[in-house]
Structure 1
Amino acid sequence: MRAIVAHRYGGPEVLELTTLPRPAPGPGEVLVRVVAAGTNPVDAHARSGAVPGWFGPGPHVWGWDVSGVVEAVGPGVTAFGPGEAVFGMPRFPGVAGGYAEYLSAPVGELAAVPDGVDHVGAAALPLAGLTALQTWERAGLAEGQRVLVHGAAGGVGHLAVRIAKARGARVVASARPKHHDFLHRLGADDVVSVPESGEPVDVVFDCVGDDRLLSVVRPGGVIAVVPGAARGAMALEATAGQVGVRVVRHVVHPDGRGLAQLAALVDAGRLAAEVSRALPLAEAAEAHRLLEAGHGRGKLVLVVDPEGVGR
């Protein structure tokens, strides 16, 4: 099978298109023929070698977000059968091998691709969508709350806006002016360039990492910080505790039920991942260059099987 392999850590240039043996599904796993693979900033972070002790020396096939078709099932699998379209974020934060034509995945870490989306759209959804969904749950998002999503046009941010609106929250979205029309189309109640003190919010969902946002949270509220969540508590926690604000730093985890919730929102017309660009698998290095440059709106997706995209 074709796969993008990194034999060492380094810049995007370490990603090479090569041929590897096709994996086989073990007990409780399925073999997925990958049609599209989403990319995320964590992919580039892992490839760079910033956390080599986490992943070992390699070589590695990076990538977690996938959408494709079940090719075969391992012993004990009844949830999916060959030919069914599935998507997910398997094995995170271990190495999953998403930038390849096939990968094996635990069946409980996948869900059926929603009817209203093709494989490119589905591949853009798992990691960012689950990050938004799980973080909102940890933050205690509730109907009627006023919330701020900071960095709202990015991969996680734009999905956080849609999920909050689907849960009945009033959403203030902050992003660069060029993204304001996009955020209005997503349903944000207010769109700003710079969050300012004024009417306080119940929850801040911070996709940028700006401790100054503590000033816009009401006492008893929550600030959920996405960047660097795996590093654990930092100086913000002490400051927030002094004013009665809870800090959430959530590291996303695979969740088949959560994927099914995202799929239900897609089917209901309440959620869709914005794909800013889809590139061929062979251009994985270019996708990583764009990730590191801060490509802007939505998600970048690698197309592994162009003929299978439309399902």
Structure 2
Amino acid sequence: MRPELKDFKGFNLKKLPEYDGFAPGHRACQGCGTVLPLKLALKALGPNTIAVSATGCMEIISSPFPYTSWRVPWIHVAFENSASVASGIEAAIKVLKRKGKISKREKINVVVFAGDGATFDIGLQFLSGALERGHDFIYICLDNEAYMNTGVQRSSATPFGAHTTTSPAGKVIKGQVTWKKNLMGIVVAHNIPYAATASPAYPVDLMNKVKKASLVNGPAFLHVFSPCPTGWGCKSEDSVLLAKLAVETRIFPLYEVIDGKYILNRKIDKPKPIEEYFKLQRRFRHLTPEQIEYIKKRVDEEYEKVVKLSECFGIES
């Protein structure tokens, strides 16, 4: 265990911070599964935080001039370069500390919030560079599995079989034809101190992972499952339920990777039928029994890989 996390004391439901770094009154869709983890992350980090936001839904809904929901210093940047801008902010903080303009003991969190399009696709090289250079910052990918802000186009985070406007389900193709990119595998290959998956259906787990990410020295990455009622064709009240079902069906396992060592946070020995997850979403209604069976098999295979990696190290959450 890293020395920074040796005496880690997490949050619990009876003792949560009152601080709210993201004000209500924003323009997110009802049931938005991205706003909830963003609010939880800022609650975990506290006010001494600088946020960087890639272009996407969160920028559009949070900052229509002259209003803003951000209660921390916030900078909106291009689709692709949020990790680079965060690198510059972190470097500037180091210079200010060296010059005595900021106390060397003061902890200032630098955090990126970006969607799957900005992370899996357009900004992947920028993210890779920032991780490789070892900048001390947190990158949180809020993954709603498509380019939702621009009209529900597919990204490399879009799951196999899902209908989007650029992977339509019809006679020629049956939705998205490729499997979701293994972004966690790519990130972990950079040998960073901390990486984790998280879900808004498990808020305390999410907040504790954000807190751990803030404590480690060096880059940290969180991949957060973020249901989108508008793009997924689900009821707004089902967002958290879908986030929970994604974990319970093994579609989105919850785990951490600390210095390359895998820790499975929630083992699912008896997964719920994957159909329970699919039937609540319009984007999967066209799936054939053969497609569903293929997805089941692949999901179980991917889940077992994480189980075996965690068993290699014998670390329990």
Instruction: Say yes or no: TM over 0.5.
Output: no
TM-score (norm 2): 0.29
Query: Which protein is richer in helix relative to its size?
Result: 2
Instruction: Flag the structure with more relative contact order, 1 or 2, with Cα contacts below 8 A and sequence separation at least 6.
Output: 1
